[in-house]
Structure 1
Amino acid sequence: MAKCLTSICAVNHIVKSNDFLYGIIAVPARRSLEKEKIDSLEKLSGYSEKEIMQMHGFGKNAMEKLKNHMKEHHVSFRD
């Protein structure tokens, strides 16, 4: 009798390919943005800095990195 050779882990493991801000800010901050469906700089620009700072994972360091990245791409937070 043959057994199934499919690994349970391989079948159930789903890797998300969302690389928005990968390498820019830490995972907890990226997850907070993902939870709010913020997956582009254009969507991020619709929020104020204060609103983003209230999200889990955002502190001075993450915000500074995020603002530098946005500046490089000529995008800014709304007032």
Structure 2
Amino acid sequence: MTTDRATKRTCEKGHTFYKKSDCATCPKCEAERKPKEGFLSLVSAPVRRALESEGITTLTKLAEYTEKEILKLHGIGPSSIPTLRKSLEEEGLAFKA
């Protein structure tokens, strides 16, 4: 359904939004779900969803993975690694070697 025109959609909560892709994620619901603090509040919604889908919701859990493993997750690109690395370093942690 990828077209040049955005289609109007309504989510289960009644939010109306426009999307050009097949992605069904409501941007308003995602904004409501965004944590107010912690490392997951510093990353984009796709990165947060990718980490959450793998059960990575704490820095301790994130430190169990290599950067390469994290980059393999759908929704995570190289630009997100510096933010994740900095969050780990602030807690005295690092990605697995």
Q: 1:39 to 1:56 in 2, by over 3 A?
A: same
Q: Structure 2 stretches of 5 or more lacking a match?
A: 1-11, 15-28
Instruction: Give the letter aligned to residue 36 of structure 1.
Output: E
Q: How does 1:1-79 map to 2 (within 5 A)?
A: 9=13, 19=35, 20-79=38-97
Q: 1:64 to 1:37 in 2, by over 3 A?
A: same
- Indicate the structure (1 or 2) with the bigger Cα radius of gyration: 1
Question: What do you get for the CA RMSD once the two structures are aligned?
Answer: 2.5
Question: Are the aligned partners of 1:32 and 1:56 in contact in 2 as well (CA < 8 Å)?
Answer: yes
Q: Structure 1 stretches of 5 or more lacking a match?
A: 1-7
Q: 1:56 to 1:9 in 2, by over 3 A?
A: closer
How many Å apart are 1:46 and its aligned residue? 0.7
Instruction: Give the letter aligned to residue 67 of structure 2.
Output: E
Matched residue pairs, number?
69
% identical equivalent positions: 30
How many Å apart are 1:9 and its aligned residue? 4.3
Structure number with higher relative contact order (C-alpha < 8 Å, ≥ 6 residues apart): 1
Q: 1:9 to 1:55 in 2, by over 3 A?
A: closer
Classify the secondary structure of the residue corresponding to 2:41.
coil
TM-score, structure 2 as length reference: 0.59
How many Å apart are 1:22 and its aligned residue? 3.5
More strand by share: 2
